[in-house]
Structure 1
Amino acid sequence: MADILNEAFGEDNFDPIAWINNACNHNKPADEPLEKYLAELEMRLQLNAEDIEATLSDNSSQAMRRIPFAIQEIYRLQGDIQGMQDQVQVLAGSVQRDATDARVSVEHIAQLHLVKANMESACNSLKEATELSGLFVKVEEVFAAGDLPKVAEILASMRRSLSLVGDVPEFRAGRQKLRALEDRLQTQVEGSLGEALARGADDEAMRKLCGLLLAVDRYGTIESLYVSTKLAKVHALWEEVAAAGAAAPDGAASWLATFMSRLLALLEAEACWAAAVLPGQAAALLGALCLAVFTKISKAARDRLAPVRHIGPLAGFAREVGGFGRALNELLRDVDAGRRREIIALVYAPLEDKVAAYGELEAAQLAADLRAALPPVTAAAAAAAAGGEEAEGAVSRLAASIRPAFAALHAAVERCNALTGGSEVRALLKAVDGELSGYLGALQSAVSGLGAKHKARAAAGAAGGASAAEDGEDIANVLQLIKVGRELSAAVGRLEAALRTAVGAAVSRLQALVSGAAPAAAAAAAAAASGTPFASSSAPAGGAAGLSGAAEADPVALRLVAGKGERLTKLVKLGASLSDPRFMVLPSSVGSLDGFSATVQSTVFDVLLARVASLLAPLPGLPEWRKGAEGSAHPAAPLPSFNTYPLPYVTAIGDHLMAMPQQLEVLMGDNGDDASAAAAPGGAEAGGAAEWEELAAEWLDKAVSGAAGMYADAIFKIGELGQQGGCQLATDVEYFVNVMGALHVAPPPSLLTVQLLAGAAPEEFAELGRGALAEGAADGPALRALAGMRRIALEPAAGAAAPPAQA
């Protein structure tokens, strides 16, 4: 009980009900009555509250007694603070006076120091002037003696002296004289240095000649001579490799890769030479040489690559130039970063034109590959005109074109990675979508041509009494199109899944490639003022800002961070879109596939029922329907139904439909590979066989139902129907309904209505119709149409007679 009185009643979330329940559940002894426990708890709480109230009262009284003493203490502290402030003000005034006195003293000392410095400078100037006068005389003697190293030493000393006494009136013309002497020395050394560079003199001689020019501050001459001499070697190498590779099967892409390999060896040798001869200027010399070399060959390489339109050779060149660029970047590690990026951009410039045109190149490649698969397909319609055997071959060739076509489409992913490193996957999707859509359109045209030929043959066969075998051949051929459609749909699905996987992998890989630069892509691109570093032969300084390590010389990484990182941003958006189920990788192709599927469905349906349509065409005008009609010239007595036989048109239709299940077996048979696969251990294809059986059953139901609809439409086009004609029609319909039952297809209500009421006596028609409607055994529109054909007025309860309606 004592523990629960220590609860924190003052907390904001204190709940008295929960507290009481908790006390009763956990603190009440098991054998103590609840009322007693609560009464004791209440008493303890009340006593505790009284103790708290008494404690608060005592504390309050003590606090009130201490307030006057606290006020007196505050007044005392305020007085002390005021006194301290007065003392600080006095000290501050004293410090200010001392600082003013000190400033005056320092100014005097500074003036004395300046006078001393001026006197020392004047002394040095007089000394240098004395020496300089002697040097101007001495240098001519040394020139005459031919001691060029001594001349260089004297000229260097004269330059230092002129920097001190150049403002002395007697030496104002000294700088011009010194420049003339330096030019004179340069002229004598330049020829020797040029010859030494050309013939490859020993390092010590080269070092001495370069030292002479450096002594007179003529590094530019060394760089100019060095670059011009080595450019001649590079040009000779270019001509040699170009001549040897003129007949290369891959053209310029092949020999350019060879040239870069040999050029890298040449530059490595030059780097070693510069480090040995001029270690202090080695990086600058190598940078100047590389910049001159790639500025000169970049445009030439781009012109040589311009005619290359095949991605294969370009992909190989991209691999080679990427390796060359990384090796060169490592070779130039001591060169100024801005110049190094400029050189690397020039290296990649020839390839970037092809990368930018990748979409067009890929579309052209795919168009050529798909055309190689399409010619037999586009000729299918012409082949079908020659006969069933040729038509069967046309459909087979149609199916055979799918595998090579989609193999080419899948290969586009590897070509994109090889040439662009995956940075152009957006262009890849566009090219694949466009060319696949065109391929599907060509297939759709071929199917339309096949369907038209088959339909015309079926119609002609119905009119001329073609054999059932010929009809079966036509239907078997056209039913193969269903398998083609299914295979094509599956191929498109696999291609779309492969593209989704490839795009997702490419986006992840590219983001990881520039992971260090991606967060600062905008800053990196802002430094690249000229946009993409490959767009011109002059690369912007800082074009690869934000990249480090191997990515600094990676063409794909450079491409991603160029142009304010727009390409990377678009790729990231594309990668994010993949998770959206509404996003379509191949939107145009999906639409074309739907059109192809619809064409196949329509073609198969039309060919399956072409004979039915031909047989039903004369039905509305048959004279049998007017027998027994009022006003007929030869009214006939009603015949018993068992003496009425179905007319030939409906028996022919029944034979056609009864033969259809065997014809539909083409959907699940005639494929030895499937059968053997289904029999394999594990039954991997068992599900596929069941799927084909289900598809055949679906098409049988669709075809028989379609024939029933066509039959009903033809019946309700009959202008006048007599009683005996109605009996004949009922017999025909009954035969047709029996055929549907044998095929396990439910007949439509319109045909059941005709079967039930077409032959009914006039006096019984209305009553039978009302009863059938009440029981749900008759179709209202069909009943009204039938009443109009029989010229029987229905009672208002059943509705007035209406013109023939479509079933």
Structure 2
Amino acid sequence: MMLDLGPFSDEKFDSKKWINSACKNRHPQDSLDKHMVDLEMKLQMISEEIAASLEEQSASALLRVPRATRDVLRLRDDAVSLRNSVAGILDKLKKAEGSSAESIAALAKVDTVKQRMEAAYDTLQDAAGLTQLSATVEDVFASGDLPRAAETLANMRHCLSAVGEVAEFANIRKQLEVLEDRLDTMVQPRLTDALSNRKVDIAQDLRGILIRIGRFKSLELHYTKVHLKPIKQLWDDFESKQRASRLANDKSEVERISSGNEYQSSSMTVSFSSWLPSFYDELLLYLEQEWKWCMVAFPDDYKALVPKLLMETMAVIGSSFISRINLATGEVVPETKALAKGITSFHDILKFLL
């Protein structure tokens, strides 16, 4: 039987409970006397082993005490020596503090002067580069290399911002503005062609030129101008159909009169309310296709270009839209003719449509 020594380390150890528990856990075939004798022998053997181990460890510990004492004394001496060394270093630092502060202040002044000299040198370089760019920019334009011209103008703009408002460079500043307008004008027909024929690579290159000279607004303007025309044609399609219907009705009327037929033919006019949904469908399809193309051609700008196109479209057809809505509602519901103002804004249009 193995003894569990765990209960002996418990602070609430009770010898009587332990003995009773040991007796209850004995083998049914073992007598109580035999079980108690075996238990006593095992306790005695374990106790002797523990005593022997304790004596051995105590002897070893006593042997280590002198060595630990020597180590403590040595560490104490080292600590005293280190404290003295640190005190000496602190004294030296205090003596050097005054002269070091003066040296650092002098170095800071020298560094400031150095930075100012470097800035002046850079400015002089920019001024010299600006003069050279101004003298050669016409040759760049004559070469027809638009990306190089844009890069030259961008460098001129950078140099002007570096030299600041210097009177000697006022003429160059005016020259730069004229040249940027000139380059913008040169880009316009090429950009119009690229947008109209969906030439992605060329459109991206021309967009890069305009961005380089700070003319994103010009890109927006030309993009809107190119795509506003077909959208306006979609809107004007209603009037074309109306004219065609009127001509057809007039022709029918002439034929009726010439033939002496008293039958009154019905008017084959196009209703605005029935035509408007088809306009919406075609407009949404056009914008969807343009959105997809712009995502490829102008991935950084399509979220601005397409909504701008829609806003400009509504601005162009706004008055005509309001007029047609008022006319349509007046035709369908005669009472609306009595309204003095009718529908006068896009806010009213949205309320009407919803």
- In the alignment, which residue of structure 1 is the partner of 2:223? 226
DSSP 3-state at the match of 2:301: helix
1:292 matched to 2:295: no
Contact 2:234–2:279 (Cα < 8 Å) also in 1: no
Report how far residue 103 of structure 1 moved. 7.4
In structure 2, which of residues 21, 26, 29 is the aligned counterpart of residue 23 of structure 1?
A: 26
1:695-738 alpha-carbon deviations (Å, 9 max, x no partner): xxxxxxxxxxxxxxxxxxxxxxxxxxxxxxxxxxxxxxxxxxxx
TM-score by length of 1: 0.27
| Distance verdict in 2 for CA 1:5–1:115, change over 3 Å | closer
Match of 2:291 in 1: 267
Q: Choose the corresponding residue for 2:35, options 6, 18, 38.
A: 38
- Show the counterpart of 2:162: 164
- RCO higher in structure (CA 8 A, sep ≥6): 2
- What residue number does 1:9 align with? 7
1:177 aligns with 2:154: no
The 3 A distance-change label for structure 1 pair 131 and 112 is: same
CA shift, 1:213, in A, is 3.1
**What is the alpha-carbon distance in structure 1 between the residues aligned to residue 199 and residue 304 of structure 2?**
22
Per-residue CA deviations over 1:517-550 (Å, capped at 9, x if unaligned) read xxxxxxxxxxxxxxxxxxxxxxxxxxxxxxxxxx
CA RMSD after TM alignment: 5.5
Scaled by the length of structure 2, the TM-score of the pair is 0.53
Q: Superposed, which structure 2 residues align to 1:224-373 within 5 Å?
A: 224-234=221-231, 260=284, 263-272=287-296, 274=297, 282-292=298-308
Structure 1 stretches lacking a partner, 5+ long: 275-281, 299-349, 355-807
Question: For each residue in 1:362-420, what CA deviation from the matched residue of structure 2 results, as whole angstroms up to 9, or x when unmatched?
Answer: xxxxxxxxxxxxxxxxxxxxxxxxxxxxxxxxxxxxxxxxxxxxxxxxxxxxxxxxxxx
Contact 1:139 1:154 in 2 (8 A): yes
Q: CA deviation at 1:48?
A: 4.7
Answer whether contact 2:195 2:226 (CA < 8 A) is retained.
Answer: yes
Q: What amino acid sits opposite 2:2 in the alignment?
A: I
Report the residue type matching 1:23 in the other structure. Answer: R
Question: Residue deviations 1:409-441, cap 9 Å, x none?
Answer: xxxxxxxxxxxxxxxxxxxxxxxxxxxxxxxxx
Per-residue deviation, residues 670-709 of structure 1 (Å, max 9, x unmatched) = xxxxxxxxxxxxxxxxxxxxxxxxxxxxxxxxxxxxxxxx
Contact 2:130 2:156 in 1 (8 A): yes
Contact 2:150 2:212 in 1 (8 A): yes
- Whole-angstrom CA distance in 2 between matches of 1:133 and 1:57: 97
> Retained in 1: the 8 A contact 2:26–2:35?
no
1:257 is displaced (CA, Å) by: 7.0
Alignment of 1:150-549 (within 5 A): 152=150, 154-166=152-164, 168-171=166-169, 173=170, 176-178=173-175, 180-182=177-179, 184-185=181-182, 188-189=185-186, 192=189, 195-196=192-193, 199-200=196-197, 210=207, 212-234=209-231, 260=284, 263-272=287-296, 274=297, 282-292=298-308
- Residue aligned with 1:83, SS: helix
Q: CA deviation at 1:287?
A: 2.0
Question: Over residues 266-299 of structure 1, what are the superposed CA-to-partner deviations in whole Å (9 max), with x where a residue is unaligned?
Answer: 4333444x2xxxxxxx21232212333567899x
CA distance in 2, matches of 1:296, 1:60: 97
Distance 2:41 2:219 in 1: 105
- Using the alignment, how far apart are the partners of 1:175 and 1:119 within structure 2? 25
**SS, match of residue 6 in structure 2:** coil
Residue 95 and residue 295 in structure 1: after superposition, are their counterparts in 2 closer, same or farther (change >3 A)?
A: farther
1:78 matched to 2:94? The reply is: no
1:264 maps to amino acid = E
Instruction: Give CA-to-partner distance per residue, 1:588-622, whole Å, 9 cap, x none.
Output: xxxxxxxxxxxxxxxxxxxxxxxxxxxxxxxxxxx
Partner of 2:246: none
Q: Is the CA contact 1:4–1:23 (under 8 Å) kept in the aligned structure 2?
A: no
The answer to whether the 8 Å contact 1:156/1:215 transfers is: yes
Q: Aligned partners of 1:204 and 1:46: how far apart in 2?
A: 96
Aligned partners of 1:11 and 1:238: how far apart in 2? 98
Answer whether contact 1:227 1:292 (CA < 8 A) is retained. Answer: yes
Name the residue aligned to 1:87: 85
Residues 10-43 of structure 1 show CA distances to partners (whole Å, capped at 9, x for unaligned) of 2549863443322334xxxx4x5x1331341353
Between the aligned partners of 1:212 and 1:109, the Cα distance in structure 2 is: 46
Question: 1:152 touches 1:212 (CA, 8 Å); kept in 2?
Answer: yes
Query: SS at 1:9's partner residue?
Result: helix
Q: Percent identity?
A: 20
**Paired residue secondary structure (1:23):** coil
In the alignment, is the contact (CA less than 8 A) between 1:197 and 1:229 conserved in 2? no
Local SS of the residue matching 2:27: helix
Q: Deviations over 1:68-98 (max 9, x none)?
A: 8599555554343233232233345557777
